[in-house]
């Protein structure tokens, strides 16, 4: 069965909080000057001050709607695709919807999808399978993430790596163009499930019983184990997919990878002999924005006309779990 579907990116939008330079962070946390760029490759990123995840997500959606000259009433579903959240309940999509200016005028259904850093890629697949030109004509996917609050000040690696931000995409069912969702693949290797984790704050280390402790409640990443696992699993994953799709990486016009880390991006390019022309990056000026990294990069590339209609595009990345995911679409 051909899973190709006439799905088109109609428009996108983004929201970024204030820029924070590496010098500012290094000074604040007593790190040597230049540490961030040398170790994580991040020169600057954006961190929230007054903003919530809901606020950023709503502004990104409004920007995408404005660009498309559409209103909330033209949307048949709102998917929030991300790992961070404003409140443990309700779901983040309902919070984002409530912050849209026309929220009470339109009863658009809301849904959260979470495959951590690959949430946007999962939501793109789900939206593509739901879009049918009747019940679901247009679906908006928003990835809004605040990473900056869960960082351990004693861990300079993660402290300088992560950024906040939001991007929203409107996908539509459109048989009139060549644009298409082609196929998506995901695999989860459970041996890596705790290589990236925030232990405290859920049912296991419940906050009533475990008061705030920076080590317990911050993001933990075993970067070396992650790189090793990715290096071991990526070749078989890509091999399998290229065979199944009868395409090679050479056929792909542009690759938009998750901005996990500078080392991860380097490893990916080197492993498959790919250039920086094809494998795009924004880690130097955005950092790792969890699930918002891929859609922020995709949005900027479209705005800069580096992606043109008809281009074969690949979204790819690793995520906590440990998973690898990939999606092919024709823009």
Q: How far is the CB of 114 from a copy of itself (least distance, A)?
A: 4
Q: How far is the CB of 38 from a copy of itself (least distance, A)?
A: 27
Q: How far is CA 53 from CA 28, 56, 96, 100, in A?
A: 24, 5, 8, 12
Q: How far is the CB of 83 from a copy of itself (least distance, A)?
A: 6
Q: How far is the CB of 284 from a copy of itself (least distance, A)?
A: 24
Q: Residue 158: name the closest of 52, 47, 39, 43 by CA.
A: 39
Please provide the DSSP assignment of 4-36 as one string.
-B-EEEEEEEEE---EEEHHHHHHHTTPPTTHH
Tell me how far apart the alpha carbons of residues 104 and 100 are, in angstroms, rounded to a whole number: 9
Nearer to a copy of itself, 241 or 254 (CB): 241
Please provide the DSSP assignment of 203-221 as one string.
STB-TTTS---HHHHS-EE
293-303 and 119-130 are packed helices; what angle lies between their axes, rounded to 10 degrees? 70
Q: Residue 51: name the closest of 28, 84, 81, 94 by CA.
A: 84
Nearer to a copy of itself, 197 or 224 (CB): 197
Nearer to a copy of itself, 78 or 265 (CB): 78
Buried b (16+ CB within 10 A) or exposed e, 157-187: ebbbbbbbbbbbbbbbbbeeeebbbbbbbbe
Tell me how far apart the alpha carbons of residues 97 and 61 are, in angstroms, rounded to a whole number: 9
Q: Residue 254: name the closest of 194, 201, 294, 196 by CA.
A: 294
Tell me how far apart the alpha carbons of residues 300 and 307 are, in angstroms, rounded to a whole number: 9
Q: How far is the CB of 286 from a copy of itself (least distance, A)?
A: 18
Nearer to a copy of itself, 198 or 249 (CB): 198
Beta strands 138-145 and 77-81 are parallel
Nearer to a copy of itself, 261 or 280 (CB): 261
Nearer to a copy of itself, 13 or 325 (CB): 325
Q: How far is the CB of 154 from a copy of itself (least distance, A)?
A: 13
Q: How far is the CB of 268 from a copy of itself (least distance, A)?
A: 19
Nearer to a copy of itself, 39 or 199 (CB): 199
Nearer to a copy of itself, 12 or 93 (CB): 93
Q: How far is the CB of 90 from a copy of itself (least distance, A)?
A: 4
Three-class secondary structure of residue 326 per DSSP: strand
């Amino acid at each position: 069965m051909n899973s190709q579907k006439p799905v088109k990116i109609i428009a996108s939008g983004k929201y970024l909080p204030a820029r924070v330079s590496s010098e500012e962070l290094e000074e604040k946390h007593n790190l040597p000057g230049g540490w961030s760029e040398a170790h994580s490759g991040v020169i600057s990123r954006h961190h929230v001050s007054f903003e919530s995840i809901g606020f950023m997500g709503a502004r990104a959606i409004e920007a995408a709607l404005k660009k498309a000259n559409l209103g909330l009433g033209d949307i048949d579903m709102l998917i929030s695709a991300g790992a961070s959240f404003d409140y443990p309940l309700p779901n983040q999509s309902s919070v984002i919807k409530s912050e849209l200016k026309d929220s009470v005028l339109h009863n658009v259904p809301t849904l959260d999808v979470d495959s951590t850093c690959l949430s946007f890629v999962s939501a793109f697949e789900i939206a593509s399978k739901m879009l049918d030109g009747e019940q679901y004509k247009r679906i908006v996917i928003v990835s809004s993430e605040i990473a900056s609050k869960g960082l351990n000040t004693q861990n300079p690696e993660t402290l300088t790596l992560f950024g906040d931000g939001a991007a929203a995409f409107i996908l539509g069912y459109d048989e009139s163009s060549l644009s298409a969702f082609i196929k998506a693949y995901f695999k989860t290797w459970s041996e890596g499930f705790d290589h990236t984790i925030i232990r405290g704050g859920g049912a296991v280390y419940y906050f009533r019983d475990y008061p705030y402790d920076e080590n317990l409640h911050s993001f933990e990443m075993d970067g070396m184990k992650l790189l090793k696992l990715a290096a071991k699993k990526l070749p078989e994953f890509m091999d399998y997919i290229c065979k199944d799709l009868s395409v090679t990486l050479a056929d792909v016009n542009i690759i938009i990878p998750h901005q996990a880390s500078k080392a991860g991006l380097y490893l990916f390019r080197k492993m498959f002999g790919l250039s920086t022309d094809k494998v795009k990056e924004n880690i130097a000026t955005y950092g790792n924005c969890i699930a918002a990294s891929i859609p922020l990069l995709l949005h900027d590339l479209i705005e800069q006309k580096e992606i043109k209609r008809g281009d074969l595009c690949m979204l790819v990345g690793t995520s906590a779990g440990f998973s690898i995911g990939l999606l092919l679409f024709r823009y």
